[in-house]
Structure 1
């Protein structure tokens, strides 16, 4: 039951707020309608029916009073039609069944009850033959007196007025509540959009605090958090830029001195060490900088992935591109290029063939990078996304990088609100699955 309620419950704040307002309103209307039809409607109908029963009784008494006069019946007939709005007819020799009626609806039950209270003679009610009238047959001596009563005399228009008032007031209250709640929810939506944009690395320069006090407090906390994060990133970037400059200067001098030393023994090994230190430094800086302030653009996946693959093909790597649709995704192009390059480079170290597939899916794009290498053990799949982590623990540059390629790719994907995970590839190795929202 609880699971069913959770499925039926609105998911948005606006929907739930409106439900909180509308549910008591509906319950109140149901209770009011129940009280009205249980009490007021029954009383009104009975009083109208009693008035008709009183008129029928008066007609019968007048007929008995003028029964000896020849013109008496016609006078009573004209009087009933003109004054009371009742049409009477006398059917000689017919008798009304003595079996008591119970009534099929509220009108019949109230009319039977009123006639029982006033009349002593047998009677019968026909509420179905005529649309606008109700027929009442009353036993009168050895004849049947048929009285045609207009249905409007037994019906009160207050029912329609009550229903229209109830429905109309509910609609007005619903519209007012919806307009009010939409205005209250808008600041929350703007805050959620701003947080989403900031989480994806997009610029959120102007964010206006508005709405209720609680929403303003949340917005102020978001702005303060954004400023602190941006300040920390800026400080880290500035620090690493300074460190990079300080480290590159002695490395450059070392490289120049090694070049000037000629072909002495050990010079080649030292030059390789200096080059490796420069590559490690570049990797650390790339990870520390992340996407920086790069703006998002509509990137054609086919063109971008093809350009990356061409670089590896020139190095003698076997890469196959499987992209059927020519479509674009909004992302930071340089960060995307760096992430895909890192993933393909990691795969190329351990596999002979690499397959890159990209396809459009509902709400985004899916990129698959498969290889035919040894794969990645399940126990290591979460660890490889850690900075500086390598499955091969020797830290030998010949068997891998510095351990930042997967971490950079993960930061890019998550920064764009996407998802990255490692699966078993149908090619025999590992499969890197990336899902990016549009």
Structure 2
């Protein structure tokens, strides 16, 4: 039941893992950038809603003020005799005008309206409702917002640009940025239409209600850029010491500790403690390896002397059968000492890494095998890897020897994958039972057919090969080939 319930969660996490960066720097940067962006967007959304609400209230108040003024002007012109209306309008223009630009037409003048805008529509609705409330007996009102450069003010397509500047520059025109103009037209009597145009108390109310205007976005963008830059610098300062620690650990694991630089004890207190602990561990491991090598060399040297003495004394025995048994036991003991020393030395060869041409190395191994009478199929690949030549040759040589001892003939192939070089060595022997793979790399473990084919071996070759390959940052994988035999795949980092 629990495994079934966890499967959907695992399926949900798989797409997320594909999108997440692999490095800690990338993940911390992504999290911090996403957090800043989400916070900024949330704050901007709240601020935008408050700005729109404030702009709506201000626009409604301004619309009612303009509507009341327009209603008073309409009553005034309705109260005048028709013959006096043009005279009054002319006098108002010569005096500099009033709040409204006023004109009389014999019919409704079509207006080219601005693009639809919710706040403009709200203002028009409020002005219309207020006018109808103040002038309940009026036949109706035609309202619209228009741009100054396209505004028609009189019959016969007379535009605002055609009028003298003195008539309109203080009433309708704002420089250098013109604002939308509210136009109110109503029929005060049959055949006479009153045309009134005016700016809103806040002429730029449409722009002030837009939270995404450029002058408002620019400070937010600059502040966001500064915060993101600081986040990147902080994340970089945190992850740089971790990258140094990772490189040092990788060098230690691959046996390149001599080339590794000391970890800098800078940064946070936690990293300084970690760097000190790692440096102390690296020193202890170095001392342990040196002590282990000296110990095995000493043991080998100390044991060879008594073994040699025992062999000489065994030659003095008169009983030939007993002498043969002694010599056989001494040879076995000598072989065990040599094998243990070889196991230690072969897994810790002190060489400088260099560029290795696999064609040259594998070609020599193949020619040596062919001279010994073995059949090896191989094709040059032109691939180069970086590593310790003698150690890598010993590892590949052990794998090839196993393939030839236990499989009669072998095949070697080299191919490249993204970031990796694959060296495949396949034999044509009986393969390995599935239950034996778990212990195949253990020292002194040999399968039955292995003991029959190579009675002089000690079962150390695979363990040594795996240790060398892993020290190069690679991996050794053993599996039975579908067509028979054992297939050994060596994965090494590409140059």
Which TM-score tier does this pair reach, normalised by the shorter chain? 0.7 to 0.9
2: CA distance, partners of 1:26 / 1:52: 37
Paired residue for 2:105?
Answer: 91
Q: Which residue of 2 aligns with 1:297?
A: 354
Counting matched residue pairs gives: 427
TM-score (norm 2): 0.75
Check 1:235–1:402 CA distance in 2 against 1; reply closer, same or farther (3 A cut). Answer: same
- 1:315 matched to 2:401? The reply is no
Q: Work out the CA distance in 2 between the residues paired with 1:397 and 1:424.
A: 19
The superposition leaves residues 300-326 of structure 1 with CA deviations (integer Å, 9 ceiling, x where unpaired) of 1110111122222222111122232x1
Contact 1:48 1:153 in 2 (8 A): no
Structure 2 counterpart of 1:246: 302
- Closer, same or farther in 2 for the Cα pair 1:269/1:349, shift >3 Å? farther
Unaligned 5+ segments in structure 2 are 1-11, 152-178
Are 2:223 and 1:172 equivalent residues in the alignment? Answer: no
Which runs of structure 2 are paired with 1:96-175 in the superposition (5 Å)?
A: 105-116=117-128, 118-120=130-132, 122-127=140-145, 133-142=180-189, 143-147=193-197, 149=199, 152-157=203-208, 159=211, 160=213, 161-175=215-229
Q: Report what 1:100 is aligned to.
A: none
TM-score after normalising by structure 1: 0.84
Change (3 A) 1:117 1:253: same
The gaps in structure 1 that reach 5 residues or longer are 97-102
State the match for 2:363 in structure 1. Answer: 306
Q: Can you list the C-alpha shifts for 1:251-274, whole angstroms capped at 9, x where unaligned?
A: 55677899999xx99999988876
Structural RMSD (CA): 3.6
- Match 1:39 to one of 50, 61, 70: 50
Query: How far apart, in 2, do the equivalents of 1:74 and 1:32 lie?
Result: 53
Counterpart-to-counterpart distance in 1, 2:187 and 2:226:
55
CA distance in 1, matches of 2:127, 2:406: 101
Structure 1 range deviating more: 119-128 or 188-197: 119-128
Show the counterpart of 2:281. Answer: 225
Aligned residues of 2:146 and 2:183 also touching (Cα < 8 A): no
SS in 1 for 2:448: coil
Secondary structure of the residue aligned to 1:382 is helix
Question: Per the alignment, do residues 91 and 249 of structure 1 end up closer, same or farther by CA in structure 2, a change over 3 Å counting?
Answer: farther
SS in 2 for 1:316: coil
- Matches for 1:228-377 after TM superposition, within 5 Å: 228-251=284-307, 279-289=335-345, 290-324=347-381, 326-377=382-433
Q: Distance in 1 between matches of 2:372 and 2:360?
A: 19
Of the candidates 90, 93, 99, which is equivalent to residue 74 of structure 1?
Answer: 90
User: In the TM superposition, what is the alpha-carbon distance from 1:275 to its structure 2 partner?
Assistant: 6.3
Per-residue deviation, 1:353: 1.1
State the shift of 1:293 in Å: 2.5
Looking at structure 1, the residues matched to 130 and 282 of structure 2 have their Cα atoms a distance apart, in angstroms, of 84
**Which of residues 242, 267, 278 is equivalent to 1:211?**
267
